[in-house]
Structure 1
Amino acid sequence: MTDHADLVRDAADALLDAYRDHAPIEPLAARFADHPLSTAYEIALAQVQDWEKQGDVVKGHKVGLASRAIQRQMGVDQPDFGHLTASMFHLEHAPIPAGTFIQPRIEPEVAFVLARPLRGPGVTVAEAAAAVDFVLPALEIVDSRIRDWKIGIFDTIADNASSGGVILGGRPVPLVDVDLRMAGCNLHVNGELVDTGAGGAVLGSPINALVWLANTVGPLGVTLEPGHVVLPGSMTAAVPVGPGDTVVATIAGLGSVTAVLGA
């Protein structure tokens, strides 16, 4: 009988192979039907540890499935989190090489950059806000190593919260200078307005997602570190994109950020 550690390792290896081969795999959830969600996080962490052994570095975290729009789109009812590594960050306006992703979708977000460490449990909104150095407009490219995005909560957690890429805007804004709850967002793809949203769609306010993250990862031994980027969740539904697309998110009070997908 296959033991727990072997099951986790096999699933992590299958996802790592999908990254390498750009070939999605079938959903994992069926073979882990009797396992808690903590097993999915073990699978994700095994991949992160492999990336670190290869020289990649954790540069932050993301909260996924934070808005009602995304939860409805994905058929889930709770947030999750994933790790952001250095290799996932791409420069604004610089073409992202074709073939970087398998089945990408893009989401506009507010990025928190931390000045002080945050570690739960027990982190309050006030403590989270005090730990933020500044905020930036951001685009997150989500991607799934699961075929046709046929994911439930177990599969997206195991797949590092469907993380793909991050593009940050270049104008830091102090948190006190913007009301994130009321900040509206327009998302354009190739000059066409494809969706709108607001910060209040993200757990009532993006800062609530930061609190949720700190208090969720703290008991797992994870501290949100100074300088790290935290993506709190999408302000709109995720929009499919492909080679040659140019995406611009404009967020009130923060300005705009542009992602260019190489042809």
Structure 2
Amino acid sequence: MRTPCAPVRDLLGTTDVESAYGVQRLIASERIAEGARIIGAKIGLTAPAVQRQFGVFEPDFGVLFDDMVFCHRQPVPWSRFLQPRVEGEIAFVLGRDIDHPGASVVDVLRATDFVLPAIEIVDTRIAGWDLTIVDTVADNASAGAVVLGTTAHRLVGLDLSRIGMVLERDGEPVTHGAGHACLGSPVAAVAWLAREMCRRGNPLRAGDTVMSGALGPMVGLDGAGRFRLRLDGLGDVEATIERD
């Protein structure tokens, strides 16, 4: 039976982030050995509203596996989650590697092929979302699933820091946000990720999908429902969570 566990900080301590990333890599290796494929990365804890929810005031990252990705309106089975919550984000799809440790927003702009509206369904194995940075890093940055829009947008002429967001559940707005809430801009968030991953010897590569982080507060998910994310200038995407 799938049940949440106690915080891993009880084993690793509250400040040993590098050991937590070691746990993350070990779990990823086990998944790869079982046949899963890494297709990109996700950034967590970017929005001040989310940081305040957990008392964690620095971003982290995890990996995306191929079986985490769903498309607009594709049914997402409720049974794959433990304690899911929903965030509105922008996904970046890279056309070039970003493989040097001093990566800047210019490098991100040059490397990005296109962006998509995206919903992330975050989840955690830690009971009650009782998290420190160590807990969420070890748990793959609380990655659950992502739902991607189907209309690509080039970054030329777009200022993602000014993008407004509305997330609706079953037609009713449940949270609002904006691009500047994501480390100042989703582009800046991806630059941070590129530097961190390069420093650890696993740089972002052409073809990777990157979830750039929440644009506003996360919303609890307690059963089946339909979530629609609307982004100014980038259209919308719908996540349909179904009981199975």
TM-score when scaled to structure 1?
0.90
Report the counterpart of residue 31 of structure 2 in structure 1.
51
Alignment partner of 1:205 is 2:161? no
1:157-172, aligned counterparts within 5 Å?
A: 157-172=137-152
Q: Which residue pairs with 2:18 in the alignment?
A: 38
Shift of 1:223: 1.5
Q: Secondary structure at the match of 1:96?
A: strand
Which deviations, in whole Å up to 9, do the C-alpha atoms of 1:1-39 show, x marking residues without a partner?
A: xxxxxxxxxxxxxxxxxxxx4211011102222762100
* Residue 101 of structure 1: aligned partner: 81
Give the number of the structure whose alpha-carbon radius of gyration is greater. 1
2: CA distance between counterparts of 1:138 and 1:119? 25
The answer (yes or no) to whether the contact 1:27–1:147 under 8 Å persists in 2 is yes
* Residue pairs, 1:147-158, within 5 angstroms: 147-158=127-138
Work out the number of aligned pairs and report it. Answer: 243
Q: Distance in 1 between matches of 2:131 and 2:84?
A: 14
3-state SS, counterpart of residue 167 of structure 1: strand
CA distance in 1, matches of 2:148, 2:141: 19
Q: Partner of 1:63 in structure 2? A: 43
TM-score, reference length from structure 2: 0.97
**2:241 equivalent in structure 1:** 261
Q: Superposed, which structure 2 residues align to 1:1-263 within 5 Å?
A: 21-33=1-13, 36-263=16-243
Q: How far did 1:91 drift?
A: 2.3
Q: CA RMSD in A?
A: 1.1
Contact persistence 1:82–1:163 (CA under 8 A): yes
C-alpha displacement of 1:243 = 2.8
Q: Supply the distance in 2 between the matched residues of 1:162 and 1:89 (Cα, whole angstroms).
A: 15
Residue identity (%): 39
Query: Secondary structure of the residue that 1:223 maps to in structure 2?
Result: coil
Gaps of 5+ in 2: none
Higher strand content, 1 or 2:
2
- Where in structure 1 do 4 or more consecutive aligned residues deviate above 3 Å? none
- Asked whether the 8 Å contact 1:178–1:254 carries over to 2, the reply is no
Displacement of 1:230: 0.6
Residue aligned with 1:211, SS = helix
Work out whether residues 190 and 212 of structure 2, in 8 Å CA contact, stay in contact via their aligned partners in 1. Answer: yes
